[in-house]
Amino acid sequence: MDRLLDSTNDWAVYLATILLIIGGEEIGAAFARRGRQRPPGDADRLLSSLATPSIGLLALMIGFTFAMALSRFDARRAAVLNEANAIGTAALRGQMLPEPYRSIVAPLFRQYAAIRIADETSDLKSPTTRDAIQRSLVIQNTLWRTGMDAAAANPRIVPGGLFLQALNTMIDVHEERLTAARSHVPSVVFFTLEGIAIVAFAFEGYGLQLASVRSRVAMWIMAAMIGSVIMLVFDLDRPQSGFITVDQRPLLDLVDETR
């Protein structure tokens, strides 16, 4: 299910949600029309009364899902800032290395920062992103070997140890950012949310049709509103594309500073 949602466009989620909600409401109204040949009984009144608690449950689920998506979005945004700080610290400590090691690591940090910006432009499973991650690992290994060579050549010099410490932090933050990017609201939560919306509007359509006060236009507007909120939560949870994206400004500033 996760793969299905990862490959789904935000607008497809929006349109599917609207159609499913309208379909649920139409089904509920159709059942009410079929029972109009007899006077409303206790079962009819019970079904129509279930609309209000169902809408309340839908609102609760939307709030719950939004909180989950927002916490994950904040973690991704914080990971970008942490990685920019870690790269910047390692690059500054690399300037304290003796030659020729200083000249070796300086351009590698510029390349590394630029590659890390590219990681957020597409899905993590895309060939472009996987290639960028692989190049990041190659640069990490090159930097680490260079730092080890510098430390071995001058074992009593403090900058070599400080550089390796900062480089180790940079490598750790790299994996933390990838983990944050992979963390999504479970797909079952979104499918449950869609199911509750369909059932809630089916009860609503049943009750309104039974009371002869049903308005299709009003239901369509309500479906569009609910669909917009669900699409917003979905977009917030998958910021690689769509309207809401993780700001890359910390890394962009770092690249400009290291030129």
The three-state (H, E, C) secondary structure of the chain, written as one string: CHHHHHCCCHHHHHHHHHHHHHHHHHHHHHHHHHHHHCCCCHHHHHHHHCHHHHHHHHHHHHHHHHHHHHHHHHHHHHHHHHHHHHHHHHHHHHCCCCCCHHHHHHHHHHHHHHHHHHCCCCCCCCHHHHHHHHHHHHHHHHHHHHHHHHHHHCCCCHHHHHHHHHHHHHHHHHHHHHHHHHCCCCHHHHHHHHHHHHHHHHHHHHHHHHCCCCCHHHHHHHHHHHHHHHHHHHHHHCCCCCCCCCCCHHHHHHHHHCC
- Which among 65, 68, 74, 67 is positioned nearest to 191, based on CA atoms? 65
pLDDT, residue 198, reads 93
Distance of CA 74 to the CA centre of its chain: 9
Residue boundaries of the structural domains of the chain: 2-31+44-257
* Type of residue at 97: L
pLDDT, residue 255, reads 86
Q: Which two tokens stand for residue 183?
A: 């963390």
Mean pLDDT by 10 residues, the chain (259 residues): 64 88 89 65 62 87 93 92 94 90 92 80 71 92 92 76 92 92 88 92 83 81 91 83 80 82
CA distances from 257 to 41, 114, 137, 206, 207 (A): 74, 12, 22, 63, 63
Cβ 181 vs Cβ 241: under 8 Å: no
pLDDT, residue 51, reads 77
pLDDT, residue 84, reads 94
pLDDT, residue 6, reads 62
